[in-house]
Structure 1
Amino acid sequence: MTSAEPKLVCRDVWKIFGAASAAAKAAGRKPTSAELRASGLVGAVRDVNIEVRAGEIFVIMGLSGSGKSTLVRCLSRLIEPTSGEIIFNGENLLAADEARMIEIRRHQMGMVFQHFALLPHLTVLDNVAFPLEIQGVDKAQRIERARKMVELVGLAGREASYPRELSGGQQQRVGIARSLAVEPELWFLDEPFSALDPLIRREMQDEFLRLQSVLKKTIVFITHDFDEAIRLADRIAIMKDGEIVQSGTPEDLVLNPATPYVAEFTRSVAKAKVVKVVSLMQPSDGATFDVTIRANAPVAEAAPLFSDGRDSIGVTYGDDAIIGALRRSDVVDLMMRG
């Protein structure tokens, strides 16, 4: 379970590109895209308000040009927002000076981008240890921590390899290990798997979920792939033309789209992929079950468990105690409705 306490809060954040960007966003005024274009400006991020809770995977998604990558760079102030507030652990990052922001990025934030950006002349181990060297961590300590991170991402035995000797998926694992070496509180991932082929991409998603089950980081994950979003996300925010048009759980977005744009975005998604077992379960009435499934699993994972003709299976949560029952008829009904 994720905490209800927000780790990162984004309030009324704008990023306007152009010579008169500051003047375009006067206090209390919200210019439209048409108004900005007429002034020769681009509203890359417009009036964004989000809260990212401690321990959750918060996915920001949208088509190319929707503003999602600009937004994630604003959240870490790699790009300077035009206006708004970005609160991290209660501190307004827009009020922090550059020295403070460097300290926060080095010690509290991790970042993984689509392009691996590994240093070609360094080994796997030295690439992973590099941010610790920048921090001034002594050599023995940084090598020890780097070895742990390499093992964590499944690359034990490749410490002495160079990036050119690794596959694309292995290189991305090195990038993930490097970003984790600083033990960040907040982890930004901007389309980290989009350059990988579909099979490797699926494997990396599995690896990412495994890591999160161990580390329980607060994560902001950027993607344009809705299938990837619903597989990974606790909550999703969909962007269009720099704005958040809807945010919520994958179920919320698929079952209750707020706009025609969101409806079109989610139209082809099978409901059984996003509806959780807990949403369909019924009281167990003290029954016992030889087959169970997790309450937060998608209904699609439950469907094969009924293949031998059983009428219901147990639903568990946390300590594996039975909290309800999932009936075959309810699963069939949902899948027949698409």
Structure 2
Amino acid sequence: MSTTDKDTTTAAATDTVAERPPVFSVDGLWKVFGPKADRVPADPDLAALSPAELRSRTGCTAAVADVSFDVRKGEVFVVMGLSGSGKSTLVRCLTRLIEPTAGAIAIDGEDVRAMDRTRLRELRRHRAAMVFQHFGLLPHRTVLDNVAYGLEVQGMGRAERRERAAAVVAKVGLEGLEQRRPGQLSGGQRQRVGLARALAVDPEVLLFDEPFSALDPLIRRDMQEEVVRLHREEGRTMVFITHDLQEALKLGDRIALMRDGRVVQLGTPEEIVGSPADDYVREFVRDVPREQVLTVRTAMRPAANADEAGTGPAIRPDATVSEAIEAVARAGSAARVMSDGRCLGVVDAADLLSVVAGTAADVAAGSRAAGAARVGDGGPPARAKPSVGEAPATRRKPATPAAPTTEEPV
């Protein structure tokens, strides 16, 4: 497959996702702990208090405060924040492992908060499976029987569930370890068992609650690559909770950054890094290598003349600034940003370096536009909700850049 064919395939996939309705839709969600918690979201004065003021006046803590977002089919939606930001409480509210205080949650248009116990069991067993940080494996069971446990709970026969479990064990790279027990496995292997157990029930959505935070760095990287691979092969919808910014940027189609129970910014990795909503987000992403996250769309400009539009190496619109720098350095001239045989713009060394330095005019303009969109009618940033037509951006995983040519974008 040529690079142009790959671009066409990617564009088609993006268009398909854009047409899909949300899997999860969250609107004005609150989870308040403390006495008479219901009064907090119902009272605008209390809802507007800082966490310290709210505790002082009411004795309550708003773990999740007026959060709204949609998760679209096939998207990896990352919720990121420091400890105590509310991210783990939020993901548990999605399936009512923790009961929300106020707000709306829907899965495929069905009201989760209106579900009775039977429908909730159905949701948790078949439609949304959780992968936890602390594995939760049954120590007396083998790998195969741990993976098959959810199917057993569903009432599937022993032979059928073991056959399905064996296929999933192989999918996550544990073939040959089926008869071992959890105590005989490494931390990374145990986490793979937990992932396989969630996949075995074939859920519509996988919910990850900081699943790799307790793993060693090299094992954590391997597990991140495993998630990327599974998503690429299956296109399964995922909600991923993490406190690790690099993990969020690597995995997420979109990222919701939380602070004190509120979403302070929701956007693609490129939007988060290139257009931080406020000083808190700006400090969060300060040390991120911008050239590895931002794409040439951030840097390109119209061609000055026909000669500039017709010569120089061709690069894709979704190529990273880092890849574009390499192409420009090799060619010693400006590069053309090409899509479907059409020149969208050009970038030269000065354009690219201005993006790396954070001085590009379009980055600043994008920041102002993003800020205006988040503020909306004057409400807090957490009230901003993605439009029905909004789709996750197609994310290019880090790859070795190809040698530039003048015929095909790289």
| TM-score with structure 1 setting the length | 0.88
Contact 1:58 1:235 in 2 (8 A): yes
Compute the displacement of 1:302 (Å). 5.3
Aligned to 2:355: 334
Instruction: Select the residue among 21, 39, 47 that pairs with 2:58.
Output: 39
3-state SS of the aligned residue for 1:95? coil
Query: 2 CA distance for matches of 1:169 and 1:47?
Result: 36
Cα 1:175–1:303 shift into 2, 3 Å: farther
CA distance in 2, matches of 1:197, 1:315: 40
Counterparts of 1:25 and 1:198 in 2: how far apart (Å)?
A: 40
The code of the aligned residue for 2:59 comes to: G
RMSD of equivalent CA atoms: 2.7
Give the alignment partner of residue 23 of structure 1, picking from 14, 17, 39: 39
Q: Greater CA deviation, 275-284 or 173-182?
A: 275-284
Which stretch of the first structure deviates more once superposed, 77-86 or 4-13?
4-13
How far residue 334 of structure 1 moved from its aligned partner, in angstroms, is: 3.2
What is the alpha-carbon distance in structure 1 between the residues aligned to residue 166 and residue 342 of structure 2? 41
Tell me, yes or no, if the aligned pair for 1:62 and 1:240 is still in contact at 8 Å. Answer: yes
Deviation at 1:40, TM superposition (A): 0.7
* Aligned residue in 2 for 1:267: 286
CA distance in 1, matches of 2:269, 2:105: 25
- Between structure 1 and structure 2, the one with the greater Rg is 2
| Cα distance between partner residues in 2 of 1:305 and 1:109 | 43
Rounded to whole Å, the distance in 1 between the matches of 2:338 and 2:156 is 44
Q: Quote how far apart the aligned CAs of 1:233 are.
A: 0.6
Report deviation, 1:313: 7.1
Distance 1:39 1:269 in 2: 39
- Whole-Å separation in 2 of the counterparts to 1:58 and 1:158: 31
Distance in 1 separating the partners of 2:162 and 2:332: 53
Which whole-Å CA distance do the structure 2 matches of 1:30 and 1:89 have between them? 32
Partner Cα separation in structure 2 for residue 61 and residue 89 of structure 1: 24
Q: In 2, Cα distance between the equivalents of 1:3 and 1:110? A: 24
8 A contact 2:35–2:58 mirrored in 1:
no
Which residues of structure 2 form unaligned runs of 5+?
A: 1-13, 360-410
* One-letter amino acid of the counterpart of residue 234, structure 1: D
- Name the amino acid aligned to 2:209: D
Per the TM alignment, residue 104 of structure 1 is displaced from its structure 2 partner at its CA by: 0.9
Given that 1:30 and 1:47 are in contact with CA atoms closer than 8 Å, whether structure 2 keeps it comes out as: no
| Alignment CA distance shift 1:148-1:10 (3 Å) | same
> Identity of counterpart residues, as a percentage?
48
SS at match of 2:225: helix
Cα distance in 1 for residues equivalent to 2:287 and 2:204: 35
2-11 vs 176-185, greater mean Cα deviation: 2-11
Structure 1 partner of 2:384: none
Moved more, 294-303 or 127-136: 294-303
Deviation at 1:172, TM superposition (A): 0.9
Q: Does 1:299 align with 2:318?
A: no
- Provide the rounded CA distance (Å) in 2 between the counterparts of 1:268 and 1:75: 32
Is the 1:311–1:327 contact (alpha carbons within 8 Å) kept by the matching residues of 2?
no
Letter in 2 for 1:213: R
After superposition, residues 124-273 of structure 1 pair within 5 angstroms as 124-273=143-292
Give the strand-richer structure, 1 or 2. Answer: 1
TM normalised by structure 2 equals: 0.74
Q: Write the distance in 1 (CA, Å) between the matches of 2:341 and 2:138.
A: 50
Deviations 1:110-144 (A, max 9, x none): 11111111111111111111100000111222112
1:16 shift after superposition: 0.6
CA displacement at 1:298 relative to structure 2: 3.5
Mapped to 2, the partners of 1:151 and 1:328 lie a distance apart of 47
Going from structure 1 to structure 2, the CA distance change for 1:285 and 1:226 (only over 3 Å counts) comes to same
- Within 2, Cα distance between the matches of 1:301 and 1:44? 41
Question: Is the alpha carbon distance of 1:300 and 1:116 closer, same or farther for their aligned partners in structure 2, counting shifts above 3 Å?
Answer: farther
Question: In the aligned structure 2, how far is the partner of 1:244 from the partner of 1:205?
Answer: 24
Change (3 A) 1:288 1:133: farther
Q: Distance in 1 between matches of 2:173 and 2:296?
A: 31
**Native 8 Å contact 1:130 1:178 kept in 2:** yes
- 1:19 maps to a residue whose letter is P
- Distance of aligned partners of 1:337 and 1:148 in 2 relative to their CA distance in 1, 3 Å threshold: same
Q: Offset at 1:24?
A: 3.2
Equivalenced residues, count: 333
Task: Kindly state the Cα deviation for residue 23 of structure 1 after the two structures are TM-superposed.
Answer: 3.1
